[in-house]
């Protein structure tokens, strides 16, 4: 009796294993590396949530090449070393043919050598450092704007806002340093005086020393580049120090609704660059995907402040899915070649790639839209771009 039971159990186990193998063969894996914990956790989770919405929408419509897509999401813990480990795991153990990541420019730059080593393409959904697409890595395809693109888009507003002297406070990493360099270069070209250039550790919570020096500089505008967690604290501390300068955050990862909720009155009067304005869907290039994304985001009860960040993951996965469809197979080399032919009507705008970097080893770079909004009276208002 026991022998028969054991044989039956083994048979059932074998059937389960076979079913699991069959399921794996019936899905197309897409790797995702995001900061789900650590200094950039809020933004990383928003991006992952947007990616999940895209995954479900694509699968509900029949998947890709007759198969469902399956996201394999890893937490890079806001740490470059961890980011490298996640990419290696996704490629070696999970056998993903393509990846989306890695939010911060520092994290993305850290993983890029692994993409070349294993010859696996990655769609970059957020990072803005110019080095990402100019260093000669042909496996990188970025849908977000570079800091230079953002600064150039901002140029027409310099005179309109009456900026005469600008100071800077940015996170001491590739994201913040690159943004400050491009904006200061653009402002100098417009005849604006540049005062102090202050930096901060990505994990810092006390900015009184930097803000005191910025106040003493006497600039009329302070450009801030960091993630939403630090922006919230900076707005509060600037108000406490009675800093009169206009604050403008750059990089698009500022989540104005979250700032209103968490910084309160201190957020009023601040300006923010965003790459998707959910408060004004009528101004976006492609209202239809924007509406689908926003509706599902709200339906799932996600944080409203994350709408301006989650769309990056949404567009990233749709871009990858379209490339796999064009490739006709889920293989790294074919997907890499197909990304050059990919065109997607996304929330970012019309996504397609131009070549950047040294000839023969170019990276792909999209040219998305840039918007500027202002927080006024506890609400988000239009403010140009």
The string of pLDDT tens digits covering residues 60-85 is 999 999 999 999 999 999 999 999 99
Residue 20 lies in a domain: no
**Would residue 3 count as lying in a domain?**
no
Residues 133 and 152 in one domain: no
Confirm whether 133 is domain-assigned: yes
My answer on whether 86 and 131 are in the same domain is yes
On whether residue 376 sits in a domain, the answer given is no
* Same domain assignment for residues 312 and 334: yes
Percentage of the residues of the chain whose pLDDT score is greater than 90: 91
pLDDT score at 385: 62
pLDDT in tens, 311-359: 999 999 999 999 999 999 999 999 999 999 999 999 999 999 999 999 9
DSSP for 210-224, written as a single string: HHHHHHHHT-SEEEE
Residue 385 lies in a domain: no
pLDDT for the residue 2:
45
pTM as predicted: 0.88
Co-location of 250 and 311 in the same domain: no
Average pLDDT, the chain: 93
pLDDT one-digit tens code per residue, 242-284: 999 999 999 988 899 999 999 999 999 999 999 999 999 889 9
pLDDT at 8: 39
Angle at 310 (CA atoms; ends 305, 315), nearest 5 degrees: 150
Q: Which residue has the higher pLDDT, 157 or 14?
A: 157
DSSP assignment letter at 19: H
Q: Answer yes or no: is pLDDT of 195 > 80.
A: yes
Q: Quote the domain boundaries for residue 191.
A: 148-274
384 located within any domain: no
Last residue of a domain, one of 274, 295, 322: 274
Residue 18 belongs to some domain of the structure: no
How many domains, the chain?
2
Asked if 129 and 166 sit in the same domain, the reply is no
CATH number, position 299: 3.40.50.2300
Statement to judge: residues 36 and 139 lie in one domain:
yes
Is residue 245 situated within a structural domain? yes
How high is the pLDDT of residue 17? 42
How far apart, in Å, are the Cα atoms of 248 and each of 112, 116, 156, 224, 292? 30, 37, 15, 6, 30
């Amino acid at each position: 009796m026991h022998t028969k039971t054991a044989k039956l159990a083994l048979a059932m186990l074998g059937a389960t294993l076979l079913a699991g193998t069959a399921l794996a063969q019936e899905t197309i894996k897409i790797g995702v590396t995001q900061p789900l914990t650590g200094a950039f956790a809020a933004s990383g989770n928003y991006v992952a949530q947007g990616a999940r919405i895209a995954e479900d929408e694509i699968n509900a419509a029949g998947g890709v090449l007759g198969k469902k897509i399956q996201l394999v999401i890893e937490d890079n813990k806001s740490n470059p070393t961890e980011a490298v480990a996640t990419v290696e795991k996704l490629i070696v153990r999970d056998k993903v043919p393509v990846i989306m990541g890695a939010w911060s420019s520092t994290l993305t730059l850290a993983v890029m050598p692994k993409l070349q080593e294993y010859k696996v393409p990655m769609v970059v959904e957020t990072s803005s450092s110019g080095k990402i697409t100019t260093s000669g890595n042909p496996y990188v395809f970025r849908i977000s704007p570079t800091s230079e693109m953002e600064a150039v888009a901002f140029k027409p507003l310099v005179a309109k806002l009456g900026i005469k002297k600008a100071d800077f406070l940015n996170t001491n990493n590739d994201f913040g340093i690159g943004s400050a360099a491009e904006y200061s270069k653009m402002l100098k070209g417009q005849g604006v005086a540049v005062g102090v250039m202050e930096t901060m550790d990505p994990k810092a919570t006390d900015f009184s020393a930097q803000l005191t020096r910025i106040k003493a500089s006497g600039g009329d505008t302070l450009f801030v580049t960091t993630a939403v967690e630090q922006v919230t604290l900076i707005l509060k501390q600037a108000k406490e120090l009675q800093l009169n300068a206009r604050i403008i955050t750059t990089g698009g990862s500022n989540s104005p609704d979250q700032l209103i909720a968490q910084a309160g009155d201190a957020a009023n009067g601040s300006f923010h660059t965003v790459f998707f304005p959910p408060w004004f869907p009528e101004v976006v290039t492609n209202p239809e995907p924007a509406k689908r994304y926003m509706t599902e985001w709200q339906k799932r009860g996600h944080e409203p402040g994350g709408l301006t960040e989650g769309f990056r993951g949404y567009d990233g996965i749709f871009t990858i899915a379209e490339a796999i469809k064009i490739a006709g197979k889920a293989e790294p080399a074919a997907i890499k070649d197909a990304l050059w032919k990919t065109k997607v009507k996304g929330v970012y705008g019309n996504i397609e790639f131009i070549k950047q970097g040294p000839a023969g080893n170019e990276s792909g770079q999209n040219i998305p839209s840039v918007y500027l909004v202002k927080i006024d009276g506890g609400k988000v208002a239009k403010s140009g771009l």
